[in-house]
Structure 1
Amino acid sequence: MTLGQPSASGTIEIGASADEVYRIVSDPGAMADLADEYSSFRWLGDASTPRVGARFRGRNRRGARRWSTVATITDAEPGVRFAFDVTFARLPVSRWQYDIRSTSDGCGVTESTWERRPAWLKVLTSTATGVWRRAEQNQHNITTTLRRLKERVESARAR
């Protein structure tokens, strides 16, 4: 699948191994603690671990607004990449991807998202979420999530 340029993306260097970071970014519960809008999850079907094909319902919040989506894991390569496609009522919403590369001091993590909503769905979901400039909001969310990820991993290593 050709993805093209992401609608929002950010990269951060973390003083930890790629495998340590992967364990967190591939854990939907851990990521809910680090994200701005994404707040909780529940595995769907017989899924109980982050593997290709597993699905989970993600719950999101922004102020008083609440909504949920379904994510299907598309990539789960430990220490390298974790990604999932997001849908709402079976309609495409976005793709989220974490690419991890080892460095001499730990690893670099790139979080990216691709907008996939059809134009008519953007109006509906923007009204529901209160976000009319989704790419801009996602850029802010990515920056916040990556900073929190770095703080969590590096503070745990310092103990």
Structure 2
Amino acid sequence: MQPTATGEITVNAAPESVYELISDPRSLAGLAEETVSCTLLDGATTVTIGTRFRGVNRRGVRRWSTVSTVTDAAPGRRFAFNVASMGIPVSRWTYSITPAENGCVVTESTWDRRPRWFLGLAYLATGVSDRGRTNTENIATTLRRLKEKAEA
């Protein structure tokens, strides 16, 4: 299945360094457009497959939270998680890292997993009517911030 939104950027940094920035949800929150903060759940202190975290998100005056579960954690190569709200699937996010001549290429992708009946509630919570377009814009911003931070 094709992602709902995707983007990629070349980063002049080692894949392992980039992975460190995106594989800690607390760090990733500082890069993402809508995410304000992330807190590890269940007493977790490190991030591995199965780690859950709560994300607090903001768009304008609207705020909402979600719970995510890490599904992929391959250092220097891939990080992914599934997002849910009130136990209802919302999305899947992946960050793939491919080595390149002077660093790596990072591809961020998301898949909208919301059931149709949930779309109206999601709109009320977020104010976003076209999630694919909004996420494409947000991905571009996140990747630009990731590049700036990794290359600093």
**TM-score (structure 2 length as normaliser):** 0.98
Secondary structure of 1:34's counterpart equals: coil
Secondary structure of 2:40's counterpart equals: strand
User: 1:99 matched to which residue of 2?
Assistant: 96
Secondary structure of 1:49's counterpart equals: coil
1:117 pairs with 103, 110, 114, which one? 114
Q: Which amino acid aligns with 1:47?
A: A
Cα distance in 1 for residues equivalent to 2:3 and 2:115: 16
Cα distance in 1 for residues equivalent to 2:26 and 2:101: 29
User: 1:17 matched to which residue of 2?
Assistant: 14
5+ long unaligned stretches in structure 1: none
Deviations 1:75-107 (A, max 9, x none): 000000000000001110000000001111100
User: 2:60 matched to which residue of 1?
Assistant: 63
5+ long unaligned stretches in structure 2: none
Q: How does 1:82-93 map to 2 (within 5 A)?
A: 82-93=79-90
Cα distance in 2 for residues equivalent to 1:74 and 1:32: 18
Corresponding position: 1:36 with 2:27:
no
Q: Which amino acid aligns with 2:125?
A: A
Cα distance in 2 for residues equivalent to 1:49 and 1:16: 23
Corresponding position: 1:81 with 2:62:
no
Deviations 1:14-49 (A, max 9, x none): 000100000000011111111110110111113221
Say what the alpha-carbon RMSD is for the aligned residues: 0.7
Provide runs of 4+ in structure 1 moved above 4 Å. Answer: none
User: 1:54 matched to which residue of 2?
Assistant: 51
For residue 153 of structure 1, report the CA deviation from its aligned partner. Answer: 0.9
Cα distance in 2 for residues equivalent to 1:109 and 1:120: 33
